[in-house]
């Protein structure tokens, strides 16, 4: 599978491990940064890179890593069409795709060890959205309706909208 990946300074070491792990398993991994530890970098920049790449179809799924996972998760979910979920267990990693069509997995480098991160990513990559179940499709359509209802328009900067 083709995947995009990015991390801030706190997630950089785990990102490098995950990137190598996925490449060794035969996945095509597009690294969107950081390319070195830079303590002054900002997690929203990397969340936006991954979110926009997935939204544009550069890859069907993405991986984001920061210290806790919370910052990049919040930021990525601001991009229409991105469904990022923080997963520190294999059940959430596959269930998020199967039930909610999650397209970005988020990991907290200060929370999860490498071995468990690999297991979560394997579960995420292997999972497929369950399209034959009416309840999952119904719920997914409700999520999309919420997103459409509150979108201010592509690239809008109106903070009151």
Residues identified as active-site: 66, 99
Q: Please state, in angstroms and as integers, the Cα–Cα distance from residue 32 to each residue in 65, 99, 107, 129, 153, following that order.
A: 12, 27, 16, 25, 25
Residue identified by tokens 């919420």 is 146
Residue reference for tokens 């398993």: 25
Q: What does the angle CA 12 – CA 109 – CA 22 come to, to the nearest 5 degrees?
A: 65
Q: What are the backbone dihedrals phi and psi of residue 111, each rounded to the nearest 5 degrees, phi first?
A: -110, -35
């Amino acid at each position: 599978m083709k995947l995009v990946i990015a991390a801030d300074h706190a997630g950089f070491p785990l990102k490098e491990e995950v990137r190598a792990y996925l490449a060794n398993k035969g996945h095509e991994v597009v690294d969107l940064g950081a390319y070195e530890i830079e303590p002054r970098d900002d997690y929203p920049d990397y969340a936006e890179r991954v979110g926009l790449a997935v939204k544009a179809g550069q890859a069907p799924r993405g991986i984001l890593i920061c210290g806790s996972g919370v910052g990049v998760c919040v930021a990525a979910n601001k991009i229409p069409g991105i469904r990022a979920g923080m997963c520190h267990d294999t059940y959430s990693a596959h269930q998020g795709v199967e039930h909610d069509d999650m397209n970005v997995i988020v990991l907290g480098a200060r929370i999860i060890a490498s071995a468990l991160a690999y297991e979560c990513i394997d579960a995420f990559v292997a999972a497929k959205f369950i399209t034959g179940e009416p309840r999952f499709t119904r719920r997914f359509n409700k999520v999309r309706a919420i997103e459409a209802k509150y979108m201010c328009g592509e690239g809008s900067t109106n903070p009151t909208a």
